[in-house]
Structures are given as C-alpha cells and as structure tokens.
Amino acid sequence: MELTPARPPSPRNPGPSWGLGFLRRADALLPRPVFDFLLGAGTAAAVAAMPAARRHSRAYLAAALGRPPRCSDLWRHFHAFARTTMTALRVSGGAPYRCRDAPGNGDFHALAASGRPALYGTFHLGESDLLGFALARFRQRVCMIRLRMENSPELEDLARQFGGGVSFLWVNEPAELLFALKEAVQSGASIALKCDRLGHASRTEAFDFLGGRRLFPFTIYHLAVIFRLPVMLSASIGAGPGEARVHCSPLFEPGGGARAEELARARAHFQGFLGLVEGLLRNDPYLWFNFGPLNPLAAAAPRP
C-alpha cells in the first residue's frame, strides 16, 4: 500500500492563535485613541518578548541608520509593523482603501489597467502586501506566491474584499508550486511575489544595498525570460487612512536577445529599484519589516 507523505506543518505568525481576532474586536469596540494607546503598549511587550525578531530588527536598523539603534528605534520599527497589520485587518473587514501612483510613477496603474499579464514584484515594505489584492480591482486575475501560515485568516478576507480575483500559490509547497505556476501563466494570470527575502529563493544575485553587496532573490527575472512576461517592481507606502502611494520601477520588458544579455539588463533594472527603495528608507527607515536575517553580504554568504 502506498502512503501519501504527510504535509509538514505550516509556520505561524508570532503571537497567540486568537491574536488577530482579538485585535479586530478591540478595534471595533474601543475608541480609536484608547486602541492606539493599547497598540503602543502591546508593541512594547512584543519588543520585550521576541528576542529573535528584536535581534534581526537591531541588525537591519544599524545598517539603515548608520548607527547602533536605540530602544526607541526598535519600538518604532515594531510599531510601524503593528500599524500596517491593523490597516490590512481593517481593509479585510471592509474599510475603504485605494492606491495612487506616487508623483513620477505612472507605470503601475497603467500596466494594471491594460489587463496585460505580468510579474509583479515587491518587498515587505510599508503597505505593499495590499498591492497584489488591489490588482484585482482592474479585473486582473492574480496569483500571489505566499508563504502559507497557520494563523493568517485575513488573506482570504482580503481576496473577497477586492473582488475575488486573487488566488494563492504556496511557496512552502514546492511540489505543487511549479505546476501551479506554469498553469497560472498559461491561463493568462498575473503573478505577484516578494523579492526581498532569501528563504525560498531558487536564484540569487548580489546588488549594492545598505552599504554593501547583498544577496537578493532573482527568480522573478528568470521567470520573465522563460515566460516572456514583463516585470513591474513596486512598493506601497501609506499616505493617510485608507490610502497609499505606489512607488514603482520602469517596466522591464524581456526581449529576444541572448539569455545572458537579458539577465544583464535585468540586473540593472533590479539595481535601479533598490536605489528607489533606499531613497524610501532614508525618508523612513522603519518601513522595511525586516524581522528575519538581513540580506547577507555576498562575500560572507555560504557558497551554493
């Protein structure tokens, strides 16, 4: 008798299983000033209770700030993430939300409105998690490559709030991901994925970022060359209640040249986007939610 191997347990977001539900109820019942005070106090408790995330936050902030971070810097970093989580929870519950192009950044919505399938890449930066869902408002079918977590009920709620045109491909189920990704592209869907963490990246490259040559995932460009799909890199930054500004790269169009030439153009394209991200972080270093290992310097990275 052939046995099907058991699926490994999915990772969990920090905190208790009832945490997000509690935040939703408290946000609905309490006056906003009272809730904001409690969110700040809860942030302080999280900083104290999460040594691994605190250590990674400290390493990132030291690189971003150019000095050893103070305790107040750690709190601000954690609190920025808590506020962004609340934005996602409110939108998943039906709160209005809209994204607009930042000045001088007009390609994101133009591409989305065209209905043309594309590869949309972003970072764990600001409110960028909501960008993939916002694409569904343009009647695009979007497959988001995500890490399946045990306690992320807001994802399905967000998909419904943005019209139901969003589906998920789970990166921690690689045997299913490869076939599902090919089927999604062949069906004309766009693909949305994060391009800043190395955890599940199959291809990496070194780029100038935060004072050194650091490794970043480069898979999105290999997919672009294989499937002949354009690449749009973007980040969404909150601009007030229910609104965000989208900062994006120029559109990368794979051509018919040799693979080496295409990837050389892709490297220049990604480096340009990293310059844009550094500019955003100079303005607000607490926007990048880097609570895992900072992208390693290329010289210090283990050989593949």
Contacts of 208 (CB under 8 A, 6+ apart): 214, 271, 274
Distance CA 211, CA 285 (A): 14
Q: What are the φ and ψ backbone dihedral angles of 194, each rounded to 5 degrees? A: -85, 145
3-state SS assignment for residue 206: strand
Residues 212 and 282 in one domain: yes
Q: For tokens 């209905």, what's the residue?
A: 115
Residues 76 and 172 in one domain: no
Q: Is residue 1 a part of any domain in this protein?
A: no
Residues 140 and 269 in one domain: yes
Q: Is residue 4 a part of any domain in this protein?
A: no
Residues 41 and 158 in one domain: no
Q: For tokens 């569904």, what's the residue?
A: 136
Tell me which of 88, 116, 137 is where a domain ends.
88
Tell me which of 88, 106, 136 is where a domain ends.
88
Q: Is residue 14 a part of any domain in this protein?
A: no
pLDDT of residue 231: 95
Contacts of 117 (CB under 8 A, 6+ apart): 185, 188, 189, 190, 229
Q: For tokens 């904001």, what's the residue?
A: 36
Taking residue 34's Cβ as centre, other Cβ atoms within 10 Å add up to 11
How many domains does one find in the chain? 2
Q: Let me know: does 205 contact 218? Beta carbons within 8 Å.
A: yes
Residues 202 and 70 in one domain: no
Residues 73 and 113 in one domain: no
pLDDT of residue 56: 96
Residues 173 and 212 in one domain: yes
pLDDT of residue 2: 41
Residues 243 and 124 in one domain: yes
Distance CA 216, CA 204 (A): 5
Q: Is residue 8 a part of any domain in this protein?
A: no
pLDDT of residue 175: 64
Q: Is residue 79 a part of any domain in this protein?
A: yes
Question: In Å, what is the CA distance from 34 to each residue of 8, 74, 94, 170?
Answer: 40, 22, 22, 37
pLDDT of residue 256: 76
Q: Is residue 44 a part of any domain in this protein?
A: yes
Strand partners, 215: 206
Range of 46's domain?
Answer: 19-88
Tell me which of 68, 88, 108 is where a domain ends.
88
Please classify residue 36 by burial: count the beta carbons closer than 10 Å to its beta carbon, then call 0-12 exposed, 13-18 middle and 19+ buried: middle
Q: Is residue 9 a part of any domain in this protein?
A: no
Averaged in consecutive runs of 10 residues, what is the pLDDT profile of the chain (304 residues)?
Answer: 47 62 89 95 94 95 95 96 92 87 81 90 91 81 77 67 75 71 86 86 88 93 92 92 90 86 94 95 94 86 48
Q: What are the φ and ψ backbone dihedral angles of 122, each rounded to 5 degrees? A: -150, 180
Q: Let me know: does 172 contact 200? Beta carbons within 8 Å.
A: yes
Residues 28 and 148 in one domain: no
pLDDT of residue 188: 87
DSSP single-letter state for residue 210: T
pLDDT of residue 5: 46
Residues 108 and 255 in one domain: yes
Residues 51 and 107 in one domain: no
Q: For tokens 């539900």, what's the residue?
A: 21
Strand partners, 244: 99, 238
Please classify residue 127 by burial: count the beta carbons closer than 10 Å to its beta carbon, then call 0-12 exposed, 13-18 middle and 19+ buried: buried
Q: Is residue 228 a part of any domain in this protein?
A: yes
Q: Let me know: does 75 contact 47? Beta carbons within 8 Å.
A: yes
Residues 149 and 292 in one domain: yes
